[in-house]
Amino acid sequence: MMRNFGTSAAASAIAVVFAGAFALAATNVVAEQSANPTADQQFDALVADYEAWQAEQDPIRTGRRGDFEAAARWPDAAPAAVEARRATERTFLSRLEQIDADALTGNNPISHAVLNYVLRSDAALAEFDPERAPFVNDSGFFSLPLGVANSTRPRSIEQARAWLSRLEALPAFLAQHREWMARGIEDGFVQPAYVVAAVVGQLEAIVATAPADSPLLEPFTGLPAALEAEHGQALRKRPVVDVAEPHEDLAESPRGLVALDRERLLDHPLV
């Protein structure tokens, strides 16, 4: 029985043509959607970018999620880093303003309103340089390291080394905030006297603790058996030297500035 190879070849050719046409059409649709994204697509992309950026700016939270690089550093409070964050926030706000909120669907209108509030509030607050008063009546930059230490329990040598790196970076972190407070004193932008007095009292209690007994060493207590057997003693021995300098910096942070210009700091409330 002879087969009609001509007909079969023609059918195959037609199938190839149709497949190519469909592929081309699909490509055109995707290209058109990319060139003209819907309001929901624009907003979803903005939220994804914003959340990724927030994770980069918050090494404490990102470090707790298993990022060893983030777990080895503190939030960057250097003036250049602060200004870069503000510029990025303004860019996000500009992108948000270009999205037609009335065209959003599902939960996006509510999410849009929330993000709009957050970004506008941050932009308004930035004009006052709030970093100049980096503490309130019971917490601030000086208590953050202690809080992180209290919640950090290394389960691997990588996590332990990340905490050691944080200890080594702590003096620089404290120095950044001291610079902001010095600027606040110069500008007359400070906390009320009773807040300063309360913070100084907390600092005195922190500094009175011997370095070997520092809460900053808590991450090295209760290590997993294998980690304790192989590295426990070395991990606890090295930080005794590391925490001495942070302790001294803690003592010289707001308290040092109070001693430098006490009357002015205590007489001028936060404005």
Query: pLDDT tens digits for 15-39?
Result: 555 555 454 544 544 445 567 899 9
- Is the per-residue pLDDT at 87 higher than 90? yes
Greater confidence (91 vs 213) lies with 91
CA distances from 248 to 133, 137, 141, 175, 207 (A): 20, 21, 15, 11, 7
**Which range has the worst mean pLDDT, 34-38, 129-133, 180-184?**
34-38
Percent helix / strand / coil, the chain, rounded to 5: 75, 0, 20
Q: Which of 18-22, 133-137, 152-156 has the highest mean pLDDT?
A: 152-156
Q: Closest by alpha carbon to 23, among 11, 33, 34, 15? A: 15
Q: pLDDT tens digits, residue range 37-76?
A: 999 999 999 999 999 999 999 999 999 999 999 999 999 9
Mean pLDDT (the chain, rounded): 83
Distance CA 222, CA 235 (A): 12
Q: What is the pLDDT averaged over residues 183-187?
A: 91
Beta bridge partners, 135, equal: 140
